[in-house]
Structure 1
Amino acid sequence: MVAATSPAPSRLALYLDLIRWNRPAGWLLLLWPSLAALWVAAGGFPGWHLLAVFVLGTILMRSAGCCVNDVADRDFDRHVKRTAQRPVTSGRVSTREALMVGAVLALAAFLLVLTTNLLTVLMSFAALAITLAYPYAKRHVSMPQAVLGVAFSFGVPMAFAAVQGQVPVLAWVLLIGNLFWVLAYDTEYAMVDRDDDLKIGMKTSAITLGRADVPAVTAFYVLYLAIWSRALWPMVDHRLWAVMLLVALVQVGWHYTLIKDRTREGCFKAFRLNHWLGFTVFAGVVIGLV
């Protein structure tokens, strides 16, 4: 008697797997700082048009970035247990297919940006260039998470550009602060694969930091919250912001307990929970702006 086999997944199912559709934490990490910047730039609700542009654009660009990343890392991913079955790595989706899917998604995001203003359109090209550069930074940069930090924070100055038609110093300060948050959560992510990355010669912050990884991640979180608090202090209700900070710092403490033993499961759980920290800061901006 022949055992029944599972039917091959459809192309749509493979494409959804390619863009991590069932793992929304990735695009939420991009979304919360961009939305917070929109609220700050507008001094409150930015309007439905810009809200739709940034929500949809974030989802589309994160999905396009997954396509590029999987093509760039296909030869490395097959040696990492967590990534060996990704559609491109396993050969179920060709590199050409993946790049075409990514191009369509990036074009759709660009069409959304075209409904804003010239400065935002120009900045979108810089954002795209950084997104394309990140997968290759892991070959040459000892802290490639810093490159990802710029890519994942670029929605902040773009939000100011879309609302105000300019990018003030405040936007760049918030970008720097958000970069530390990205360093924190992506180092947690890199800690999951550290053993595999060491074998294949991949460069990550988890490897570069070594045994200083846990205190560094904690410091990155604190710097993120400190920079955003200092930058926004003149604009927010201090009591409400303090409540937000308390909730955020409790989450930072929880992350420390998850990663202190450096287990794969604990580090990956910590990474996946980061979108709640981003939401907490966003909520603090929305309710705290005065």
Structure 2
Amino acid sequence: MSKSENLIGDMPVKGLVDRIVPGPLLPYAKLMRLDRPIGWWLLMWPCWWSTAMAADASTYYLPDPVLLVLFLIGSVVMRGAGCTYNDLVDRNIDAQVARTAARPIAAGVVSPTQAKIFLVILMLIGLAVLLSLNGFAIILGIISLPLVFAYPFMKRITYWPQAWLGITFTYGALMGWAAVRGELDWAPIVLYVACWFWTLHYDTIYAHQDKEDDLLVGVKSSALALGQNTQPVLLLFSTIFIALVGVSGWLAGLHWMFFVWLVLPYVHLLWQVIQVDINDGSDCLTKFKSNKWMGALLFIVIVVGRVLTGDGGM
């Protein structure tokens, strides 16, 4: 966040989005969280990791740039659709929580009917992106929709809504490989499981911002379930994540240098675990957002591992 930005609840104001988006469209930009890009970064990275891992000689063992752009657009749009749907479902809860009370639907700036129309528009754009992929990837993408629609209700049922988020938010680990190869293999499946643990890691950190409000309104989270035991469990989540990414890279036949450089994203995750102050909401948000850089590190490591393999350096 720049020095010129402030927060109303969890919404940045006076930032870039506020300055460039026309007034009538601004509530919709905030509804899809364009002012908080970390969400689409987290949605995009598994897509890009998987695309890079599946790269072959047709693109000189580099990730297909067209697919990367499609997954970028799809991540922004579908993250926006997910946020809109989530805010529709949670509008009564959001109105009771200080951090979320200013969100467009909860605050009454966007009506439920307007939000539903906007959701349909976003879903149609997402469908256009999906239809740009091969037939197998299209079917795989459609299968994910019921999982996405169920997510907002999980925090009413279980202390581990983060586990369901992991099932939905890292689906790109399957989609990237499918878009390149037109099939699935064990490498993307293991990567998908790895990303599930990564989601547990970062979203548990995120959930510690809301634990007091969650108790007041009666919703559940992994932050409440773990309490002061959070950091040892985060260490477990991040270690399993990196270990499974390593297994996925081995199954995909990546160069041995991939396993050497895999230490870089792991060190970043260890920094998060050691340094996070779970009782400081601002620090939790900072550590949560830093996962975009971990994602970038891992993407570079995977690309290097694939390119070196393509050069015959295995």
Same-fold status (TM-score > 0.5): yes
| Alpha-carbon contact 1:34-1:159 (below 8 Å) kept | yes
| Alpha-carbon contact 1:258-1:267 (below 8 Å) kept | no
2-structure distance, mates of 1:206, 1:261 = 9
Matched, 1:284 2:301: yes
For residue 159 of structure 1, what is the amino acid of its counterpart?
A: G
Q: Per the alignment, do residues 42 and 91 of structure 1 end up closer, same or farther by CA in structure 2, a change over 3 Å counting?
A: same
- Write the mapping of 1:24-173 to structure 2, written as runs, cut at 5 A: 24-43=37-56, 44-173=61-190
Equivalent in the alignment of 2:28: 15
- Write the mapping of 1:124-273 to structure 2, written as runs, cut at 5 A: 124-233=141-250, 235-245=253-263, 247-273=264-290
- Percent identity reads 34
Identify the structure with the greater helix proportion: 1
| Alpha-carbon contact 2:190-2:248 (below 8 Å) kept | yes
Equivalent in the alignment of 1:3: none
Deviation digits for residues 34-73 of structure 1 (CA, Å, limit 9, x no counterpart): 1110111223324333222211111110111010011111
- The two structures, once aligned, show a CA RMSD in angstroms of 1.8
Deviation digits for residues 181-239 of structure 1 (CA, Å, limit 9, x no counterpart): 00100001111101110111111111122222221122111111111012213623333
2-structure distance, mates of 1:189, 1:261 = 9
Q: Per the alignment, do residues 277 and 10 of structure 1 end up closer, same or farther by CA in structure 2, a change over 3 Å counting?
A: same
SS in 1 for 2:35: coil
For residue 239 of structure 1, what is the amino acid of its counterpart?
A: M
Q: CA deviation at 1:142?
A: 2.3
Q: CA deviation at 1:260?
A: 4.1
| Alpha-carbon contact 2:170-2:196 (below 8 Å) kept | yes
SS in 2 for 1:21: coil
For residue 290 of structure 2, what is the amino acid of its counterpart?
A: L
| Alpha-carbon contact 1:31-1:55 (below 8 Å) kept | yes
| Structure 1 residue runs without a partner (length 5+) | 1-8
2-structure distance, mates of 1:212, 1:89 = 33
| Alpha-carbon contact 2:95-2:106 (below 8 Å) kept | yes
SS in 1 for 2:34: coil
| Structure 2 residue runs without a partner (length 5+) | 1-21, 310-314
Deviation digits for residues 14-48 of structure 1 (CA, Å, limit 9, x no counterpart): 11111111111110111111111011122332433
Give the TM-score of the pair, scaled to structure 2. 0.85
Equivalent in the alignment of 2:6: none
Q: Per the alignment, do residues 170 and 94 of structure 1 end up closer, same or farther by CA in structure 2, a change over 3 Å counting?
A: same
Give the TM-score of the pair, scaled to structure 1. 0.92
Q: CA deviation at 1:82?
A: 1.4
Deviation digits for residues 136-193 of structure 1 (CA, Å, limit 9, x no counterpart): 1111122111111011111111122211111112211110000000010000111110
Q: Per the alignment, do residues 200 and 255 of structure 1 end up closer, same or farther by CA in structure 2, a change over 3 Å counting?
A: same
Q: How many residues align?
A: 282
Q: CA deviation at 1:10?
A: 2.4
Q: CA deviation at 1:261?
A: 4.8
Q: Per the alignment, do residues 169 and 233 of structure 1 end up closer, same or farther by CA in structure 2, a change over 3 Å counting?
A: closer
